[in-house]
Amino acid sequence: MKVTMLGCGYVGLVSGACFAEFGANVTCFDVDKKKVDRLQDGEMLIYEPGLSDLVKKNVNQGRLSFTESLNTCIPDSDLIFVAVGTPTRRGDGHADLTYVYQAVQNIAPLLNGYTVIVDKSTVPVGTARNVKRVILETNPEADFDVASNPEFLREGAAISDLMRPDRVVIGIENKRAEEALRELYRPMSLIETPIFSTDLESAELIKYASNAFLATKISFINEISMLCDEVGADIHAVAKGMGMDSRIGEKFLRPGPGFGGSCFPKDTQALVRTAQEHGASSRIIETVIEVNEAQKARMIKKIREALGGKESGKTLAVLGLTFKPETDDMREAPSLAILPKLIENGCYINAHDPKGVGEAKALLPNSIKYFDDIYITMENADAVVLMTEWDVYCNLDMEVVKQKLNTPIFIDLRNIYEPETMNLLGFEYSCIGR
Ligand SMILES: NC(=O)c1ccc[n+]([C@@H]2O[C@H](COP(=O)([O-])OP(=O)(O)OC[C@H]3O[C@@H](n4cnc5c(N)ncnc54)[C@H](O)[C@@H]3O)[C@@H](O)[C@H]2O)c1
């Protein structure tokens, strides 16, 4: 099958490489010519484990290529995936669909022969039908269908999520489009992945409802962790005991500094806006967003308390800046809310992150000092703040940590270490809900 991927970001690039691995002939297009040039030169634009090798392999085997020209790929395509960004629209929280409609307008005049145009971007209910309208306005003769195929990958585990997902959701209007998508995903039938087909609107809503539900689990456990702090319960025991109930499940029940990333914050907001537009209630999701903001603010209070009630003049060694490990993505990372506030309150920040520093420098205050070595980050600092649970922070040499710090204060916002062990090692250790 001939596939064109519109957008070479996290989703476009990873899904393009995975579809090529399934055997499709994939061309990835991006409006950003610099990105295309770099990809053509064999450079990876993002950090995602395994991606570089997968891209190289499929480029070498002739199934994956990158282009700046729609004329060369669109007319031959059986399937065209829209994988462009849908960020929050400034001012109102809606998903900004500018890039989606631009992408669709660009391809409409070039369609040739039967083509399925598939929304892989996360788009509000009704977008697929609007995409259809836009194409028909530009090219009334075009032989095409629209489909929705929302993406559920997690950054940091994107390739396995794409190659071995829990399910593939496809929203279609007719059998012809369904067959084209089922053909693309055929290798997945070998590993018995359920391919769930439904109508366009339901597929679009499945994506938002799933993200909102996962965000709800996170905000829920964060709120319960606050109660644990007050009553002396252990959030890990509570989460484990809850998760053993198969109706609840153990995943996404780990407390932290609040959810971030390129999806949950914007998708929860967009779902609230969609509900409001249709006069439907969205009280749970609105509260989830509020609880998440409060959780980030609570982390500042926690850090202040760990520092003896005053953070002004203190130097903090911050480990981890990205919203989660194994990605360089800084979008909506809790560090972006927490660190500027600490600096405003008079803190000095030394920071380390295995992959996120390049992005972080553009988004965080200039006063932050960045270090390549974890332990040098801690030299003469008054406390460590573990912000993101990268593997390299999970087995620190605590003797060296103590030597480097002015005061042995360790604030673990990811609950990596055991409170008892840390106290025995001589740290004043604080974490969340334990
Ligand atoms: N990142 C994730 O973890 C993730 C997971 C699931 C779903 N999604 C959804 O997938 C979509 C893409 O997300 P992303 O993280 O890959 O975004 P991204 O910002 O990393 O990449 C988007 C790319 O689209 C390109 N682009 C913009 N307009 C274009 C056009 N008209 N034609 C071609 N390319 C164009 C941009 O230059 C950019 O390279 C979003 O809707 C997002 O919500 C993201």
- The pLDDT of residue 151: 98
Query: Which of 84, 135, 153, 332 should be mutated for ligand 1, with most atoms under 8 A from CB?
Result: 84
Ligand 1 neighbour 157 (Cβ under 6 A): no
432: CB partners within 8 A, 6+ apart: 222, 225, 229, 235, 255, 256, 302, 412, 413, 415
Number of the ligand 1 atom closest to the C-alpha atom of 154: 3
What is the residue whose two structure tokens read 């634009």?
A: 45
Ligand 1 neighbour 153 (Cβ under 6 A): yes
Active-site residues: which are they?
263
Of the candidates 161, 84, 69, which has an alpha carbon nearest to the alpha carbon of residue 123?
84
Ligand 1 neighbour 103 (Cβ under 6 A): yes
CB-based contact 203:149 (threshold 8 Å): yes
Ligand 1 centre and the CA of 158: distance in Å? 14
| Half-sphere exposure (Cβ direction) of 431: Cα atoms closer than 13 Å | 24
Task: Write down the mean pLDDT value for the chain.
Answer: 97
- The pLDDT of residue 44: 94
Which amino acid is it at 27? T
Ligand 1 centre and the CA of 180: distance in Å? 23
- The pLDDT of residue 269: 97
Residue 173, φ and ψ in degrees, nearest 5: -105, -20
Ligand 1 centre and the CA of 175: distance in Å? 28
Ligand 1 neighbour 331 (Cβ under 6 A): no
- Measure the CA–CA gap between 196 and 293, rounded to whole angstroms: 34
- The pLDDT of residue 396: 98
Tell me if residue 263 falls in helix, strand or coil: coil
Residues recorded for the chain: 434
Helical spans, DSSP H, in 307-397:
334-344, 357-363, 374-378
Q: What angle do CA 385, 391, 395 make, to 5 degrees?
A: 75
410-422 core/surface letters (b: 16 or more CB in 10 A; e: else) = bbbbbbbbeeeeb
| Half-sphere exposure (Cβ direction) of 253: Cα atoms closer than 13 Å | 17
- The pLDDT of residue 90: 87
Ligand 1 centre and the CA of 152: distance in Å? 13
Q: Phi-psi category of 30—alpha, beta or left, where left has phi over 0 and alpha has psi -120 to 50?
A: beta
Which residue's CA is minimally distant from atom 36 of ligand 1? Answer: 7
- The pLDDT of residue 95: 96
Ligand 1 neighbour 13 (Cβ under 6 A): no
- The pLDDT of residue 190: 85
Ligand 1 centre and the CA of 63: distance in Å? 21
- Measure the CA–CA gap between 102 and 82, rounded to whole angstroms: 10
- The pLDDT of residue 116: 98
- The pLDDT of residue 189: 82
Number of the ligand 1 atom closest to the C-alpha atom of 102: 31
Residue 6, φ and ψ in degrees, nearest 5: -95, 110
Which tokens sit at 358? Answer: 């390049």
Residues 261/336/88/216 CA torsion (nearest 10 deg): 50
| Per-residue CA distances from 316 to 33, 227, 295, 304, 410 (Å) | 40, 27, 20, 11, 10
Of the candidates 212, 228, 244, 164, which has an alpha carbon nearest to the alpha carbon of residue 432?
228
The 8-class DSSP code of residue 299 comes to H
The model carries a pTM of 0.96
- The pLDDT of residue 307: 97
Ligand 1 neighbour 260 (Cβ under 6 A): no
How distant is the alpha carbon of residue 60 from its chain centre? 29
2: CB partners within 8 A, 6+ apart: 24, 25, 27, 73, 76, 77, 78, 79
Ligand 1 neighbour 21 (Cβ under 6 A): no
What is the residue whose two structure tokens read 């399934």?
A: 22
Residues 188/193/196/200 CA torsion (nearest 10 deg): -50
How distant is the alpha carbon of residue 135 from its chain centre? 30
- Measure the CA–CA gap between 26 and 12, rounded to whole angstroms: 11
Spans in the chain with pLDDT lower than 50: none
Strand partners, 82: 6, 119
- Measure the CA–CA gap between 424 and 186, rounded to whole angstroms: 55
